[in-house]
Structure 1
Amino acid sequence: MADKRVCLITGAHKGMGLEAARQLGKKGLHVIPSARDSEQSEAAVARLKSDGVSAEPLTIDTTNEVSVRTAARAVHERHGKLDVLINNAGVSLEFDTGITPETLGIEQIRATYETNVFGTFRMIQAFTPLLADGDGPRIVNIASTMGSLAALSDPESPYYEMNVPAYNSSKSAVNGLTVAYAKALKSKGISVTSICPGWVRTDIGTKNAFKSVEEGVMITVQVATMDNPPSGAFVDIDGPVPW
């Protein structure tokens, strides 16, 4: 394992997180598919190992500072470094719930930001020291074109009618973190990239989405493994996405 690059993925017990772990493991990375529940993480690792992937479990509740810091210490003790951090954990409390911009409550906004924004922030802060010792270290933030102000404000855009303020603005905030930390961590050699997987058939994307999970993680895997990833950028599988 000493020669393997180490990749930590949050919210990776199912969906795109688990599939990204599988594909990255197949490419030779040692993957850590974390989840809030230890049994979920262990079950994910069992599935990955049955598929020939090098993996280990880790419990992380990204909404909890103590949990995140404890996880960082565990990775430090096991590996002494981290090469790839994929901030995949995310929630949406507005899709298929009947909540509208007019009925949206502050509690839904807080809960959405707690995972999507503050969770991403906690992970970056806690794992930066380990990434600084990594090989080609990088942070991949799962954003969304639904957080693109250009797309949301363009009546010709297919995203224009997707008016879910808590989720959309949380992904805009994730893009803000990407820009800020790409600049802040440049001197440490750590790249930070936002990616949009597209509309994917997951719990959040629903069964109506036009992309499979396998298709959705293509851009995640690409940025996680490519030479010189585009730091401070927002991209999907077709190239740059407007902010």
Structure 2
Amino acid sequence: MTTTLITGANKGLGYETARRLIEAGHTVWMAARDEQRGRTAADELGGSFVQLDVTDDQSVADAAETIANAGGLDVLINNAGIHGALGDPIQLTAADALDVYNTNVASVVRMTHAFVPVLRDSSIPTIVNVSSGMGSFTFVLDPERVESSLIMPLYQSSKSAVTMLTVQYAKALPDMRVNAADPGYTKTDFNEGHGHFTVQEGTDAIVELATREGSGPTGTIIDRTGVVPF
């Protein structure tokens, strides 16, 4: 049975991904920073809760030890993220940038550093990073795309960084499948219920990458229709 860890799994895309993968037969660790919300979500779906703050080195290390001792891991889904400060981009501060990059970018490094040793014991080691078309240069420069209509420098640049990290880790870890997923403009509380896609549609690419059983390409970013241009 495939064992999967999802960060930020107590709501939104993380919660729906957990629901779908549990339904598909995965054993799912649902990670959340807030213990009460995380346990409630895991109990609702039949997942296993692990407390994990992606911005804290010790929290990540403790979670890796817990999961390794419980039998190991096959699939890591780095889903947790924030959009950070909104409003006039000129008013953004370095502190705002560090906050977004710590949660969205440095967390991928933390999680990869801590969990690759655990994943090495799997026969189908897989990493799925939840990125975004908002970080695609092609999409944000295309006036026909919704991504081009928004100006969110910190969030958008952080997702460009996530995609590049995905490519670089894929090159560094040829024994693993390392890919990124673009959920698209999905209706969640992350964007106050706006979006073109349902939360199930938004998780299509994540679930696709998480269920390839260690096969397929590595170093790509896909959405629910195929490969996303960078």
CA distance in 2 between counterparts of 1:180 and 1:61 reads 24
* Aligned: 1:108 with 2:118: no
**4+ residue runs of structure 1 moved beyond 2 angstroms?**
153-158
Residue 83 (structure 1) aligns with: 74
Q: Secondary structure at the residue paired with 1:193? A: strand
CA distance in 2 between counterparts of 1:34 and 1:169 reads 25
Q: Secondary structure at the residue paired with 2:191? A: coil
Residue 23 (structure 2) aligns with: 26
Shift of 1:140: 0.4
Seen in structure 2, the aligned counterparts of structure 1 residues 209 and 157 have a Cα distance that, compared at 3 Å, is closer
Shift of 1:164: 0.5
Q: Secondary structure at the residue paired with 2:129? A: strand
Asked if the contact 2:179/2:221 (under 8 Å) is kept, the reply is: yes
Asked if the contact 1:193/1:229 (under 8 Å) is kept, the reply is: no
Seen in structure 2, the aligned counterparts of structure 1 residues 14 and 149 have a Cα distance that, compared at 3 Å, is same
TM-score, with structure 2 as normaliser: 0.96
Asked if the contact 2:201/2:224 (under 8 Å) is kept, the reply is: no
CA distance in 2 between counterparts of 1:28 and 1:240 reads 26
CA distance in 2 between counterparts of 1:173 and 1:38 reads 29
CA distance in 2 between counterparts of 1:135 and 1:90 reads 28
Between 1:167-176 and 1:201-210, the stretch displaced more is 201-210
* Aligned: 1:71 with 2:57: no
Letter of the 1:217 counterpart: T
Unaligned runs of 5+ residues in structure 1 are: 50-54
* Aligned: 1:131 with 2:128: no
* Aligned: 1:200 with 2:186: yes
User: Which of 221, 224, 232 is the matching residue for 2:219?
Assistant: 232
CA distance in 1 between counterparts of 2:190 and 2:94 reads 20
Deviations 1:7-52 (A, max 9, x none): 0000001111011001001111000010002222211111012xxx
CA distance in 2 between counterparts of 1:208 and 1:156 reads 18
Shift of 1:215: 1.3
Asked if the contact 2:188/2:194 (under 8 Å) is kept, the reply is: no
Residue 228 (structure 2) aligns with: 241
Shift of 1:218: 1.2
CA distance in 2 between counterparts of 1:25 and 1:101 reads 40
Shift of 1:135: 2.9
Letter of the 2:227 counterpart: P
Letter of the 1:138 counterpart: T
* Aligned: 1:149 with 2:137: yes
CA distance in 2 between counterparts of 1:209 and 1:155 reads 17
* Aligned: 1:56 with 2:59: no
Q: Secondary structure at the residue paired with 2:89? A: coil
CA distance in 2 between counterparts of 1:26 and 1:229 reads 22
Residue 217 (structure 1) aligns with: 203
Q: Secondary structure at the residue paired with 1:107? A: helix
Percent identity over paired residues: 40
Q: Secondary structure at the residue paired with 2:216? A: coil
RMSD over aligned CA atoms reads: 1.2
Q: Secondary structure at the residue paired with 1:192? A: strand
Deviations 1:155-207 (A, max 9, x none): 44332221110000000000111011001111xx2111011011111122321
Residue 52 (structure 1) aligns with: none
| 1:153-168 paired onto structure 2 within 5 Å | 153-168=141-156
Q: Secondary structure at the residue paired with 1:129? A: helix
